[in-house]
Chain A
Amino acid sequence: MEHSLLPAYLLGSTLFSYAAALTVTGFVLQALAGLARGWSVDRTRGVLVRGMLAGLSLTVAATLLRLLAARSWQDVAMIAVLLTLRTGLKQALRREQRSVGAESLP
């Protein structure tokens, strides 16, 4: 039963990862288009931070699904480091969002 679910975990993790990549790319393109239209640096940063936060939430979900499928210490160690990094990065970005948030609004 447990092994039959492994492919589903891995597929879910892959799909979440692709969704995260698409989200980050979408916001990067929006930020670049905004810069071309003359947005301020702070507003552009705000858009990028929002995109990265959304993308990171999805990658954290993907990493958790990978954790369910992890079977070696090497995998577990890598997932633990990734989760720690992504969680720390999300905290840093949230703080930054609060500081540039007001200026980043259209």
Chain B
Amino acid sequence: MEQFDQIILWLAVGTEAAAALIIGLATLEAIGYAILVYFSHLKKIHPLSADGRDPREVIRLKFGRWLALSLEFALAADILRTTVAPTWNEIGQLAAIIVLRTALNFFLQREIEQAEAKAAERRATGPDPSLVAASPEARNGA
């Protein structure tokens, strides 16, 4: 039984390592995109901003999503740890992670909804008139 407990603790450590790896890779990705946006003026041609959103906002939300995923892994690690003879200390850690994760998810979700509402508003105001005038349909109509 004790060997099995030890295996579960190692699995929890591995899951936490996965969370740390995801944070590291997401940070590198965000830095890479930020450098690209900063030096190349990619606001219009960068694939991240294909829907016309501010690429900085897209990078921030993408990074936030990765952070939320890494918190899920951290939570899974804590669930694993507390399945085996939990201590008051581990229970306290689990409670702290639940509160942190829920708060982070709440604010992240709100930001994503605000960004989507802005994009929808932009779409509702219609496409750029200069692009409409240059389109084949507009020319055929005229």
Contacts and interface: CB of A to CB of B under 8 A. Distances in A.
B1 A88 contact: no
B79 A24 contact: yes
Contacts of A42: 65
B1 A25 contact: no
A96 B18 contact: no
Bin chain A's interface residue count: 20 to 34
Given A82-B91, A92-B102, A45 B79 contact: no
B33 to A, nearest CB: 15
A41 B66 contact: yes
Contacts of B72: 45, 48-49, 52
B73 A28 contact: yes
Interface in B88-103: 88, 91, 94-95, 98, 102
Contacts of A81: 91
Nearest to A42: B65
Contacts of A78: 86, 88, 91
Contact of B98 (A21, A48, A55, A89): A89
A25 B11 contact: yes
Interface majority SS on B: helix, strand, loop or mixed? helix
Contacts of A51: 76
Nearest to B97: A89
B69 interface: yes
Contact of B82 (A27, A28, A49, A82): A82
Given A45-B68, A78-B86, A96-B105, A85 B11 contact: no
A92 B68 CA distance: 14
B79 A85 contact: no
Given A17-B83, A85-B91, 20 more contacts: A20-B83, A21-B80, A24-B80, A24-B83, A25-B15, A27-B76, A28-B11, A28-B73, A45-B69, A48-B69, A55-B79, A59-B82, A78-B88, A82-B82, A82-B86, A85-B95, A85-B98, A88-B98, A89-B98, A92-B98
